[in-house]
Amino acid sequence: MAGNNFGKLFRVTTFGESHGYALGGIIDGCPSGLKLNFEEINNELNRRKPGQSSIVTQRKESDEVIFLSGIFNGLTTGTPIGFIIKNKDHNSKDYFNLKEIYRPSHSDFTYYKKYGIRDYRGGGRSSARETVSRVVAGAIAKQLLKIYNIFIKAYVSSIGNLNFSENYNKLDLSKIENTPIRCPDIKLSEKMIYYINNIRKKGDTIGGIITCNIKNVPIGIGEPVFDKLHAELGKAMLSINAVKVFEYGSGFVGTKIKGSNHNDIFTNNETTKTNFSGGIQGGLSNGMDIYFNVGFKPVATIMNKQKSIDINFFKNQILVKGRHDPCVLPRAVPIVEAMSALVLYDNMLNNRVYKI
Amino acid sequence: MAGNNFGKLFRVTTFGESHGYALGGIIDGCPSGLKLNFEEINNELNRRKPGQSSIVTQRKESDEVIFLSGIFNGLTTGTPIGFIIKNKDHNSKDYFNLKEIYRPSHSDFTYYKKYGIRDYRGGGRSSARETVSRVVAGAIAKQLLKIYNIFIKAYVSSIGNLNFSENYNKLDLSKIENTPIRCPDIKLSEKMIYYINNIRKKGDTIGGIITCNIKNVPIGIGEPVFDKLHAELGKAMLSINAVKVFEYGSGFVGTKIKGSNHNDIFTNNETTKTNFSGGIQGGLSNGMDIYFNVGFKPVATIMNKQKSIDINFFKNQILVKGRHDPCVLPRAVPIVEAMSALVLYDNMLNNRVYKI
Amino acid sequence: MAGNNFGKLFRVTTFGESHGYALGGIIDGCPSGLKLNFEEINNELNRRKPGQSSIVTQRKESDEVIFLSGIFNGLTTGTPIGFIIKNKDHNSKDYFNLKEIYRPSHSDFTYYKKYGIRDYRGGGRSSARETVSRVVAGAIAKQLLKIYNIFIKAYVSSIGNLNFSENYNKLDLSKIENTPIRCPDIKLSEKMIYYINNIRKKGDTIGGIITCNIKNVPIGIGEPVFDKLHAELGKAMLSINAVKVFEYGSGFVGTKIKGSNHNDIFTNNETTKTNFSGGIQGGLSNGMDIYFNVGFKPVATIMNKQKSIDINFFKNQILVKGRHDPCVLPRAVPIVEAMSALVLYDNMLNNRVYKI
Amino acid sequence: MAGNNFGKLFRVTTFGESHGYALGGIIDGCPSGLKLNFEEINNELNRRKPGQSSIVTQRKESDEVIFLSGIFNGLTTGTPIGFIIKNKDHNSKDYFNLKEIYRPSHSDFTYYKKYGIRDYRGGGRSSARETVSRVVAGAIAKQLLKIYNIFIKAYVSSIGNLNFSENYNKLDLSKIENTPIRCPDIKLSEKMIYYINNIRKKGDTIGGIITCNIKNVPIGIGEPVFDKLHAELGKAMLSINAVKVFEYGSGFVGTKIKGSNHNDIFTNNETTKTNFSGGIQGGLSNGMDIYFNVGFKPVATIMNKQKSIDINFFKNQILVKGRHDPCVLPRAVPIVEAMSALVLYDNMLNNRVYKI
């Protein structure tokens, strides 16, 4: 119950701190016989890794995953897949001056109060570095989903006040990786990059919204009542560092539309004319595209002096060193996809069960 | 894994359909020695029940809970609390004409596809009638939280486009129950009621937003990584029928603010000047007020003719009979509180564990 | 984590005390589309019920199960099956004199210490009356297993020192129900009945062994490492009141045989010549008959005066009133079968998952 | 649900195959602030490791554990403890001739049938090598239990037909480690060693019984109904490779004693005169010593030719190479203790929860 595992049948447990020896995890419940594509796994890690462009942190972490078990002659064996990612560029010295000061809007204070001990090196377990293990597990889930022709595509749809009003149907999602911001609208992405570079120069940070789209989910995936598919997706997204919002389908806009306009009318081939439902009815997939938005707050680590207190409640000042992200969204795109893949595949496995 | 239970240590499992013999549940993990206040439990049920005012459905369900176990001489014994609520006013005949037609934006279609069978009587298990069991369990969780002085207050903050911009700190939350809409701003609530009555007359429906505020949560409640406190709250809210959105703290607005303005600066007594964090840092409560918004779509059941298809994919028309809610929000307020209580108390229990 | 549920995918949660209003449970995860045979369910309850013969307790409990949900037009719907069994013949007055005395080798003392409260009426939750809910759930699991031609037969193989040396293969298991003791060896069963009647006249009690045999389990059922099939069966059996021993396959005898004699040599059609393995290899079923023994201690409630202490640690005497079993084994046979069915079907569901 | 984790609140997940790169695991739920004694952890690994004496396998595995996370400055931090043990002396070539043959009474056949793939190198995941991870986790649980003065001592009480009739109370448990067989009766242990050496020379194997004794468990540990303390202990023991039997307290002998002799009469200070109950009443600890027996079958790998079949069902012969244990019991003693520690500490954590 200590919060470090995810999923029921395809269950991922992770470990590791930002400045420890290694991070990693165990995937328990991966079916046997999958030929793993290691290049694709590395590709996902590269999409998440720091230092990939000018608009993200300049820390260098190569993030190589080493698989320790569960694979024999390139095939999964049905036994647990253990893996580690060693920490290399972990300069703990950057954090010595923070040893006894709480960084504002970080979890330094709450972790110390909960555990009575504090790994002050870069947030320890609470660092977003932990998501590297999620990306490995998610990359495997993606390969399993591909067997069923299910594809997940996330992209940045807003940065601060910069956003498009276009529906995702109008976008060419093949262009997501064309720019470092991972926004499929090239013109808008240029504005976003310019804006983030400005933010970075001032030592400040900004948030935004990632939209995720999932295609070809069979009808009936998800469980009723407490474990509705969108509730599981929501929990998965809200578990990602810095996420403050989850909405699916019509979302906030849907709270303002009358029922007569909001209802998705069936055509005569199991699809609906509109998709305000976001591909989910009563917690179960209805065969239409699933789509949702994930809102991120600005990164808490800014490069300017801030007031704070230390562990003895004395007033203090804080000035963070090191290399940090002015905007976490481009690197969060593969994390959103990874968590979506974990939810989807887990529910796909679960759905096999309840037919005689 | 069939989705009908909630919580880890304070675990609630529910059963029952809208037109079956009874609904109910089992609360497993309730500590022994709690003197149950049955009047308070009934009060919560009355806040949720249909027919309580002109702006909700006129169906009459008295919703009496019968406790079958786990209580001896008025005290909980630490053994599972079984309870049932009998269905009385269940007029299945209203649904005969819907037997083979899928209601738009309901789960008729997805349930039929998943299970190969359909309880067409009012949605069966997918009906919001199921939440009656959640309210019973939540009412008990509330009584347990009261021991720790933790209070949960939810209220309607928007209906359609009618909303206030006031921060919840400025509101007098003691007025929530003064109007049938459960909005503490009396003037706004009158507008909302007028608006809903108009919607109802036209056979239409509307959604809105419920805000929830939790006071006096100790520091450190919640679990890191996957089971962050706000992720659990998010899942709980998204599991409620018709919910499309969850945001906490600064939420959507927070995605547009720079880090230098968004960070919550510590004062010198463990509190922060601002509370953009919404009382949660790194997934753990930080001792400040927890607050979040829950967005509801309009009720799918409208009183006007709609196009649809039947189970053989023939085009058809649908006209729903019976008595239905034009707006679900007033009755959803106690459900939001109940689910919040379940999350909070479960995490309170869990927090006892990880100190030596 | 409070111990009142069993199973992972076919999950049963039970509630109820021996002298409360009702016992019951929820079956979550029953596949849709099963046509329930209610007569068979009643038949299992009758095999467990008190008063069925002279060698068991003369209490009369009719044990009618009322299903509250999850069934529509006689078919399971895939939603949770709630059920209750009302308590009728619960004469709490028999227990007033025990209100403050701990009955030896009962759980009065440990429950009081754990929960700080005591339901003194017949043991409350700790009473074997709780198993009535298990029998209902097990009867449904049996019907699901029948679809796969899997049959479970348990029988009494020893009472005190009376036991047969015959291997179960030599027994005619169709005769189990021919005698009230549920032993398929008619001669031996007469001796057992005579012996138990003598025990009963002296106000004493006796234990014994139940053997269980499961046929036609497909190869590969069970999970490796911690959740081996025999480990799950062992836990299930040890959870039944009064059970002290679980052995499967060669069991105790197997600890004394050399490997060269104990190994089960394969024939050339996937079967083995001997079956010391008891149908399970490495925690997974191997297609041979599964068989195991379950040992029960004598019932703790005897009809003679015993020394004890009361809750204030004063010496006291205890003389139990009421109608109690001199030997629990005949009534425990359907409980052993029910728990076996729950384990088997849960593992059957689980086995569907891990093939691509 | 794939069977590779154990425990609810102190949850251990393991991975690794006998001839893979490494084995290891994650401990999730270890409280913060424990000063780990690494020497004690190594000592437990040494008690389990091969090559420690003439009566066990002569394979050399040094079994060094590397901790990857969850520890900072020698103290546990409350975050997950990841660890690995690298495989060094893994001579897979010994297994090439077994690539397509099923070893009798091993899980080669059942694993191949379940997963459709086979890691033929020394049993892969099904090898008892997996228990090395359990010993690491158990060693940490032991250190946590020591805080509460709880001690667990296991010893070999029978090998084949060699056993003592002495009650464990008469034994000097401090002598367990004095002989390589781990039997506290020195005379008997010499006979056992002589016997095993003879067995080994003939290429044969033998089983036996390990007895485990747990002192100072507080009253009320365990959960009622399905998760009784002895049911959890039973499952834990039955999950260890080669275990066929679990009995606690009076066990098999108890099935033959009358209730009037079997009941444990209270003295006037919360203890009982006898302890047929084995320290557990109604599934909850009663403060007396907990004791149980664990029966092991002979090791399936013998050094003589055996008949078998290959994966195409052709008759074949098998002659195993490599270095194997003639008797697994001396090395299984620390495994029995480790699993006992995991059960006990998990239940200790759980017991904190259900008091208001």
Q: What is the pLDDT of residue B92?
A: 65
Distance CA D10, CA D28 (A): 6
B174 is in an annotated binding site: no
The predicted model gives C160-178 an average pLDDT of 83
Displacement of CA A210 from its chain's centroid (Å): 9
What is the band of B130 on the pLDDT scale with cuts at 50, 70, 90? Answer: very high
Q: What is the pLDDT of residue D85?
A: 96
C176, C184 Cβ separation under 8 angstroms: yes
- The identity of residue C293, as a single letter, is N
Distance CA B132, CA B64 (A): 10
D224, C125 Cβ separation under 8 angstroms: yes
Q: What is the pLDDT of residue D84?
A: 98
Chain C residues within an 8 Å CB radius of A354:
29, 31-32, 78
Within 13 Å, how many C-alpha atoms sit on residue A61's CB side?
Answer: 26
A191, A162 Cβ separation under 8 angstroms: yes
Cβ contact C1–D225 (<8 Å): no
Q: What is the longest distance spanned by two Cα atoms in chain B?
A: 69
The predicted model gives B205-216 an average pLDDT of 97
Q: What is the pLDDT of residue C121?
A: 83
Chain B residues within an 8 Å CB radius of D355:
31-33
φ/ψ of C96, rounded to 5, equals -55, -40
Place of tokens 């480790």: D338
Q: What is the pLDDT of residue B53?
A: 83
Cβ contact A356–C29 (<8 Å): no
Distance CA C24, CA C125 (A): 12
The predicted model gives C142-147 an average pLDDT of 97
Is the per-residue pLDDT at B321 higher than 90? no
What is the band of B218 on the pLDDT scale with cuts at 50, 70, 90? Answer: very high
Cβ contact A23–D69 (<8 Å): yes
Q: What is the pLDDT of residues D176-197, one digit of tens each?
A: 999 999 999 989 999 999 999 9
3-state helix, strand, coil in chain A (%, to 5): 35, 20, 45
Is the per-residue pLDDT at C92 higher than 70? no
What the block records as the tokens of D79 is: 């975050």
The predicted model gives A211-227 an average pLDDT of 97
Q: What is the pLDDT of residue D263?
A: 96
How near does any CA of chain D get to the CA of C108, in Å?
Answer: 8
Is the per-residue pLDDT at A356 higher than 80? no
Distance CA D298, CA D203 (A): 12
In chain D, the percentage of residues whose pLDDT exceeds 70 is: 96
User: Residue B260: how many CB atoms within 10 A of its CB?
Assistant: 17
Q: What is the pLDDT of residue B139?
A: 98
How near does any CA of chain C get to the CA of D73, in Å?
Answer: 32
Name which of C226, C264, C296 is nearest D239 (Cβ-Cβ): C226
Among A170-184, A228-242, A329-343, D250-264, the minimum mean pLDDT is found in A170-184
3-state secondary structure of D57: coil
Cβ contact D117–A9 (<8 Å): no
How near does any CA of chain B get to the CA of A266, in Å?
Answer: 5
Q: What angle do CA C12, C14, C18 make, to 5 degrees?
A: 150
Residue of B347 and D308 predicted with greater confidence = B347
Is the per-residue pLDDT at B304 higher than 70? yes
Cβ contact C266–D160 (<8 Å): no
3-state helix, strand, coil in chain B (%, to 5): 35, 20, 45
Q: What is the pLDDT of residues C308-336, one digit of tens each?
A: 888 887 888 888 877 789 999 999 999 99
What the block records as the tokens of D52 is: 């420690």
What is the band of A28 on the pLDDT scale with cuts at 50, 70, 90? Answer: very high
What the block records as the tokens of A255 is: 């709270």
Q: What angle do CA D116, D117, D118 make, to 5 degrees?
A: 135
Which chains contact A through at least 3 pairs of Cβ atoms less than 8 Å apart? B, C, D
Q: What is the pLDDT of residue B97?
A: 75
Q: What is the pLDDT of residue A88?
A: 82
How near does any CA of chain A get to the CA of B252, in Å?
Answer: 6
Q: What is the pLDDT of residue A84?
A: 98
Q: What is the pLDDT of residues A220-248, one digit of tens each?
A: 999 999 999 999 999 999 999 999 999 99
Q: What is the pLDDT of residues A156-173, one digit of tens each?
A: 999 999 987 666 677 889
Q: How far apart are the first and last CA of chain A?
A: 32
Cβ contact D302–C114 (<8 Å): no
Q: What is the pLDDT of residues B220-267, one digit of tens each?
A: 999 999 999 999 999 999 999 999 999 999 999 999 999 999 999 999
Is the per-residue pLDDT at B166 higher than 80? no
Chain C residues within an 8 Å CB radius of D250:
244, 297
Cβ contact C84–B78 (<8 Å): no
Chain C residues within an 8 Å CB radius of D231:
234-236, 238-239
Q: What is the pLDDT of residue C290?
A: 98
Is the per-residue pLDDT at B167 higher than 80? no
How near does any CA of chain C get to the CA of A221, in Å?
Answer: 14
Per-residue b/e over B9-40, b at no fewer than 16 CB within 10 Å? bbbbbbbbbbbbbbbbbbbbbbbbebebeeee
Q: What is the pLDDT of residues B28-55, one digit of tens each?
A: 999 999 999 999 999 999 999 988 888 8
C110, D264 Cβ separation under 8 angstroms: no
The predicted model gives C70-80 an average pLDDT of 95
Among C319-328, D237-246, D255-264, the minimum mean pLDDT is found in C319-328
**DSSP letter for each residue of B179-233:** STT--S-HHHHHHHHHHHHHHHHTT----EEEEEEEE-PPTT-S-SGGG-HHHHH
How near does any CA of chain D get to the CA of C316, in Å?
Answer: 9
Name which of C6, C104, C272 is nearest D226 (Cβ-Cβ): C6
Most confident of the ranges A318-327, B11-20, B57-66? B11-20
Q: What is the pLDDT of residue D316?
A: 85
Q: What is the pLDDT of residue A336?
A: 98
Cβ contact B23–C80 (<8 Å): no
Q: What is the pLDDT of residues A50-104, one digit of tens each?
A: 888 888 877 776 789 999 999 999 999 999 999 999 998 656 666 777 788 899 9
Kindly list the structural domains of chain D, giving each domain's residue range(s) and its CATH number in brackets, ordered by start.
5-351 (3.60.150.10)
Q: What is the pLDDT of residue D269?
A: 83
3-state secondary structure of B246: strand
Residue A45 gets the label, from left (phi > 0), alpha (psi -120 to 50) or beta, of: alpha
Q: CA separation (Å) from A63 to A42, B75, B178? A: 8, 56, 58
Cβ contact D117–A21 (<8 Å): no
Q: What is the pLDDT of residues D102-130, one digit of tens each?
A: 999 999 999 999 999 888 888 899 999 99
Cβ contact B104–A272 (<8 Å): yes
* Per-residue DSSP letter, B100: T
Name which of D97, D102, D58 is nearest D300 in CA terms. Answer: D102
Cβ contact A281–B228 (<8 Å): no
The predicted model gives A17-40 an average pLDDT of 95
Cβ contact C4–D258 (<8 Å): no
Q: What is the pLDDT of residues C120-138, one digit of tens each?
A: 887 899 999 999 999 999 9
Residue in A with minimal Cα distance to C349: A353
Name which of B29, B33, B353 is nearest D352 (Cβ-Cβ): B353
Name which of D234, D254, D269 is nearest C313 (Cβ-Cβ): D269
Distance CA B9, CA D354 (A): 9
Average pLDDT for chain D: 92
The predicted model gives C14-28 an average pLDDT of 96
Q: What is the pLDDT of residue D92?
A: 65
Is the per-residue pLDDT at D66 higher than 70? yes
**DSSP letter for each residue of B119-146:** --STTGGGSGGGHHHHHHHHHHHHHHHH
D226, D282 Cβ separation under 8 angstroms: no
Cβ contact B257–A299 (<8 Å): no
Name which of A342, A347, A341, A239 is nearest A284 in CA terms. Answer: A347
φ/ψ of C315, rounded to 5, equals -60, 145
For chain A, state the CA radius of gyration: 21
Residue in A with minimal Cα distance to B355: A115
Q: What is the pLDDT of residue D94?
A: 67
Within 13 Å, how many C-alpha atoms sit on residue C340's CB side?
Answer: 28
Cβ contact D82–A15 (<8 Å): yes
Instruction: List, as residue ranges, the binding site of D for NADP(+).
Output: 48
Residue of A62 and C79 predicted with greater confidence = C79
Chain A residues within an 8 Å CB radius of D33:
115-117
What the block records as the tokens of B100 is: 């083979």
**DSSP letter for each residue of B61-93:** ----EEE-SSEETTEE-SS-EEEEEE--S--GG
Cβ contact C26–B15 (<8 Å): yes
The predicted model gives A276-301 an average pLDDT of 97
Distance CA B296, CA A257 (A): 10
How near does any CA of chain A get to the CA of C69, in Å?
Answer: 15
Q: What is the pLDDT of residue A94?
A: 67
Q: What is the pLDDT of residue C193?
A: 96
Name which of C31, C147, C354 is nearest A354 (Cβ-Cβ): C31
Among B276-290, C59-73, C155-169, D248-262, the minimum mean pLDDT is found in C155-169
Average pLDDT for chain B: 92
The predicted model gives B344-353 an average pLDDT of 93
Distance CA A43, CA A64 (A): 11
Q: What is the pLDDT of residues B191-202, one digit of tens each?
A: 999 999 999 999
- The identity of residue C327, as a single letter, is C
User: Residue B156: how many CB atoms within 10 A of its CB?
Assistant: 28
Q: What is the pLDDT of residues D126-176, one digit of tens each?
A: 999 999 999 999 999 999 999 999 999 999 999 999 987 666 677 889 999
Interface of D with A (CB under 8 A): 1-2, 4-5, 8-9, 11, 13-17, 20-26, 28-29, 32-33, 66-70, 72, 75, 77-82, 84, 114-117, 119, 124-125
Q: What is the pLDDT of residue A344?
A: 98
How many beta-carbon contacts under 8 Å exist across A and D? 163
A136 is in an annotated binding site: no
User: Residue C104: how many CB atoms within 10 A of its CB?
Assistant: 26
- The identity of residue D138, as a single letter, is G
Name which of D5, D244, D272 is nearest C251 (Cβ-Cβ): D244
B125, C77 Cβ separation under 8 angstroms: yes
Q: What is the pLDDT of residue A138?
A: 98
Is the per-residue pLDDT at D90 higher than 60? no
Cβ contact C208–D255 (<8 Å): yes
Q: What is the pLDDT of residue C204?
A: 96
Interface of B with C (CB under 8 A): 1-2, 4-5, 8-9, 11, 13-17, 20-26, 28-29, 32-33, 66-70, 72, 75, 77-82, 84, 114-117, 119, 124-125
Cβ burial of D212 (10 Å; 0-12, 13-18, 19+) is buried
- Are β-strands B306-309 and B315-318 bridged in parallel, bridged antiparallel, or unpaired? antiparallel
B320 is in an annotated binding site: no
Average pLDDT for chain A: 92
